[in-house]
Structure 1
Amino acid sequence: MKKLKRVTIYDIAEKLNLNPSSVSRALNNGSNVSLSTRELILKTAEEMNYKVNSIAANLRTGHNQTIGVIVPRINQNFFANVIAGIEEVTYEKGYNLVICQSNESADREIKCVNTLANQHVSCIIISVSADFEDYAHLENIRKQGISLIQFDRVADELDTMKVVNDNEKVSMEAVCHMISEGYQRIALLEGPQNLSIFRQRKAGYLAALKKYKLPVIPELIMENAWTTELGAAATKHLLALAEPPDAIFASTSDFSALGVLEVADELGIQVPQQLGICGYSNESFTQITNPSITTIEQNSVLMGKTIAQLYFDELESGTSVAQNKLVNIQPELIIRNSTLKLSR
C-alpha cells in the first residue's frame, strides 16, 4: 500500500503560485498578508487536509505544549489513575500527553527519556523503574532545559520536584492494624530495596513490630515478591515453614496480595481466620475478591493533578521556585475482610 505524502506549506504555495513564507504567515496569523489571500490560503489548506507540523512549530517558538510521562507499568490501577489526574489538568491548559512504559527496565527507561527529549517535550514526569541504578539520563534532560518531575518511585539524589506518599507511616498503620486483630507472626513481601518507597514500607513494617515488641524474624521477610506469580511463590515458601506466618503484608502491590490469596485458597487456608492478608495500591479487584482485600489507597488521581499543577505553577511564575519541592500526598489504609480476624 502506497504511503500518502503529508501536505506541507510548500505544496499549498505551489498550488496557489505563492511564496511559502506568505503561506506560513497566513497559517500562523502573521502580518503582511491581505485578508483575501489569507482566506484563500486557509480554504486551500483545509481542502488539501493540511495539518500543522507541531514539532517544527515548537522549534520555531522554543516551546512545546506536550508533556511526557514515563511509568513502570501502564496496566496498574495506580499508574493509570496518576495519568488520568495529570491529563485532567493538562487538557484544561491545552497541553498534550505522550505516555511511555519502561516495563521495569532501566534500558527501556533511558530509551523513553531520549525519545521524549527528541520530541522536544517541555516536561518529563517519571516514576523510575525497578531496574533503576543511576540517574545520569535524568540529569541529562535537565541540562537540556526540560523540566523534570518525579513521583512515587524517585531518585532521592536528584534535586527535582517530587510528589510522593508517606509510605512508612501508612505501612506502620497497616501492620499495627493486623497486630491489633490478633496476628503475631506477620510476614513481609518486599520490593527491590534500591527503591526508596520499598525501603520506607519495610521501615513501617519494622516500626510496627517494634511498637508492639514483636521480634523481627528474617525468614518471614521475602525479597522482590511483587507480582502475582512471585507473591504466590513466596507464600508457598512461607507456609511451608515449620512455624508459618499467620498474616502477610504484601507491601509491594495488590497483585502480590492476590498471589497470597490464591495460594491460601489452593491450600484450603481460611482467610482471615488462619491467615491475614494486606496489599498495597487499592487495585479495583481488591473489592471483589473473596474475601475482599485490605489495602492502601494512594490517592493516585490527586497525585496526578498535583504533579501537573506543580509544573504549571512553575511555568506561570516564570521562575524555578518550585524546584526541589517535595509534596506528600497522604495515603489511606482501607480495611476489608482479609484482615478482620477479631472484628467480624
Structure 2
Amino acid sequence: MKNQKRTTIHDIARKLNIAASSVSRALNNSSKVSASTKELILKTAKELNYKQNFLAQNLRKGQNQTIGVVVPRINQNFFSNIIAGLEEVTYKNGYNLVICQSNESHEREVQCVETLIHQHVSCIVISISVEHTNDDHLKNVLAQGIQLIQFDRVAQDLETFKVINDNEQAATEAVSHMINQGYRRIALLEGPQNLAIFRQRKAGYLRALEQHRVPVVEELIIKNAWTKELGAKATRKLLSLPKPPDAVFASTSDFSALGVLEVANSMGFKVPDVLGVCGYSNEAFSEITTPSITTVDQYSKKMGKAIADLYFEEIKEAPNSTVYKTVSIKPKLIVRSSTQRKNIPG
C-alpha cells in the first residue's frame, strides 16, 4: 500500500477555489476571514484529513515548543522514568519531547545534539555517555542560543543548569549499611572515572570504609564494571581470589549487581549469608530477583519533573539569565534481601 500524500493548505484552496492565504488565515482563526468562509474551510480541512504542521508554524513565529532529550539508553528504568516525569510536565505546558539515545557512544551523542539543534528545539536535556570525551557539542548548544540542562551524568566543568543526585552520600549510606550487617571485605565495582557520578560513588565507598575503620583493599576495587557482563566478569575474578570478598557494592547499576548475583549463585556463594550484594538505581527487576537486590533509588521520575520545572519556572521566565542553577535530589537506600543477614557476625 502506497503512503497517502499529506494534505496541504494548497489542496484545500484548490478544492474551494480560493487563495491559500485565506485557508491559512482561517486555520489560524484570523478575524480577517468571515465566519461562513472559516466554517467552510474547517469543514473541508476535516474532510481531507488535514493536519497542521505545528513545527513549521512555530518556526515561522520564531518559537518551537519542543524539548530535545538525549539519554544513554532508553530501555533502562532510570532513564525511562526521567522521560516519563519530563513528559508529564511538558505535556501540561503544551510542549512536545523529541527523544534520542546515544547508546553510550560519544560520536552518536554529538550526532543527536546536532540533529536537535537543526530541529530548532527550545531546550536540550542531556545525560552524557560513558564515552564522553569533550564538551564542544554542548558548548555549541549554548552558542546557538538554545537552553541546556544536564542531569545525572554531567560535564562538571561546563556551566549550565543541572539536576543531579548526591551520589557520594548515597554510596556512603549503602556501604555503611553493609558494614553494619557484618561485611568487612567489601568489593567495589566502579564505573568509568571520566564521569563525575562514578567518581562520587567511589568517594562515598572510601568514606564509609574510613568512617568505620575498615581497611581499603586495592584488589577488591574493580575498574569499569558498569554492565551486567562486566559485573559478572569482575565477580568471577573476585570470587576466585584466595581471600574473596564477603560483599560487593555494584556502584554503577543494578545491571552490574545482577551479573554479581548470577555468578555468585553459579559458584555456590550464598547471598546474603556468604556474600552481600548491593546495586544502584532501583531498576524494576531488582525487586523480583532471588534474593531481591538492595539498591539506591534515585527518584528518577521526580528528577524528570524537576528538570521540566526548572525549564518552565525559571529558564523560560528569564531566558537571558546567566545565573545557572543546580538542583540536587537526595537518593534513598532501599534495603532488600541481598544484604540482610540472618546472623550478623559479632
TM-score tier after normalising by the smaller chain length: over 0.9
Q: Distance in 2 between matches of 1:46 and 1:323?
A: 47
- Residue 314 of structure 1 deviates from its aligned partner by 2.5
Match of 1:98 in 2: 98
Q: Distance in 2 between matches of 1:282 and 1:152?
A: 15
User: Compared with structure 1, are the counterparts of its residues 89 and 28 closer, same or farther at alpha carbon in structure 2 (3 Å cutoff)?
Assistant: same
Match of 1:222 in 2: 222
Secondary structure of the residue aligned to 1:317 is: coil
User: Compared with structure 1, are the counterparts of its residues 223 and 151 closer, same or farther at alpha carbon in structure 2 (3 Å cutoff)?
Assistant: same
Q: What amino acid is the match of 1:280? A: Y
Q: Distance in 1 between matches of 2:87 and 2:102?
A: 19
- Residue 105 of structure 1 deviates from its aligned partner by 0.5
Secondary structure of the residue aligned to 2:4 is: coil
Map 1:250-289 → 2, pairs under 5 A? 250-289=250-289
60-69 or 334-343: bigger deviation: 334-343
Q: What amino acid is the match of 1:73? A: R
Map 1:312-331 → 2, pairs under 5 A? 312-321=312-321, 323-331=323-331
Q: What amino acid is the match of 1:21? A: S
Secondary structure of the residue aligned to 1:163 is: strand
**Can you list the C-alpha shifts for 1:159-211, whole angstroms capped at 9, x where unaligned?**
11100000001101111111111111110001111100000000000111111
Identity of aligned residues (%): 65
Q: Distance in 2 between matches of 1:223 and 1:106?
A: 20
Secondary structure of the residue aligned to 1:25 is: helix
Match of 2:119 in 1: 119
What TM-score, normalized to structure 2?
A: 0.96
**Can you list the C-alpha shifts for 1:218-243, whole angstroms capped at 9, x where unaligned?**
11111111111111100000111111
The answer on whether the counterparts of 1:181 and 1:342 sit within 8 Å (CA) in structure 2 is no
Q: Distance in 1 between matches of 2:170 and 2:292?
A: 19
Q: What amino acid is the match of 2:233? A: A
Q: Distance in 2 between matches of 1:151 and 1:343?
A: 40
Q: Distance in 2 between matches of 1:73 and 1:322?
A: 31
Q: Distance in 2 between matches of 1:62 and 1:323?
A: 24
Match of 1:299 in 2: 299
CA RMSD of aligned residues (A): 1.4
- Residue 336 of structure 1 deviates from its aligned partner by 1.1
Map 1:88-167 → 2, pairs under 5 A? 88-167=88-167
User: Compared with structure 1, are the counterparts of its residues 64 and 319 closer, same or farther at alpha carbon in structure 2 (3 Å cutoff)?
Assistant: closer
47-56 or 302-311: bigger deviation: 47-56
Does 2:54 align with 1:54?
Answer: yes
Q: Distance in 1 between matches of 2:323 and 2:123?
A: 13
User: Compared with structure 1, are the counterparts of its residues 192 and 218 closer, same or farther at alpha carbon in structure 2 (3 Å cutoff)?
Assistant: same
136-145 or 262-271: bigger deviation: 136-145
Q: What amino acid is the match of 1:297? A: D
Q: What amino acid is the match of 1:223? A: K
User: Compared with structure 1, are the counterparts of its residues 51 and 343 closer, same or farther at alpha carbon in structure 2 (3 Å cutoff)?
Assistant: farther
Q: Distance in 1 between matches of 2:190 and 2:332?
A: 19
Match of 1:210 in 2: 210
Map 1:176-187 → 2, pairs under 5 A? 176-187=176-187
User: Compared with structure 1, are the counterparts of its residues 121 and 11 closer, same or farther at alpha carbon in structure 2 (3 Å cutoff)?
Assistant: same
- Residue 262 of structure 1 deviates from its aligned partner by 0.3
Q: Distance in 1 between matches of 2:8 and 2:176?
A: 64
Q: What amino acid is the match of 1:225? A: A
- Residue 214 of structure 1 deviates from its aligned partner by 2.0
**Can you list the C-alpha shifts for 1:59-81, whole angstroms capped at 9, x where unaligned?**
11111111111111111111111
Match of 2:339 in 1: 339
The answer on whether the counterparts of 2:292 and 2:336 sit within 8 Å (CA) in structure 1 is yes
**How many residue pairs align between the two structures?**
344
**Can you list the C-alpha shifts for 1:112-159, whole angstroms capped at 9, x where unaligned?**
111122222111111111110111111111221211111000011111
The answer on whether the counterparts of 2:252 and 2:280 sit within 8 Å (CA) in structure 1 is yes
User: Compared with structure 1, are the counterparts of its residues 319 and 56 closer, same or farther at alpha carbon in structure 2 (3 Å cutoff)?
Assistant: closer
Secondary structure of the residue aligned to 1:158 is: coil
- Residue 215 of structure 1 deviates from its aligned partner by 2.0
The answer on whether the counterparts of 2:315 and 2:321 sit within 8 Å (CA) in structure 1 is no
Runs of 5+ consecutive residues of structure 1 not aligned to the other structure: none
Secondary structure of the residue aligned to 2:150 is: strand
The answer on whether the counterparts of 1:292 and 1:337 sit within 8 Å (CA) in structure 2 is yes
Runs of 5+ consecutive residues of structure 2 not aligned to the other structure: none
Q: Distance in 1 between matches of 2:16 and 2:323?
A: 50
The answer on whether the counterparts of 2:286 and 2:292 sit within 8 Å (CA) in structure 1 is yes
The answer on whether the counterparts of 1:310 and 1:322 sit within 8 Å (CA) in structure 2 is no
What TM-score, normalized to structure 1?
A: 0.97
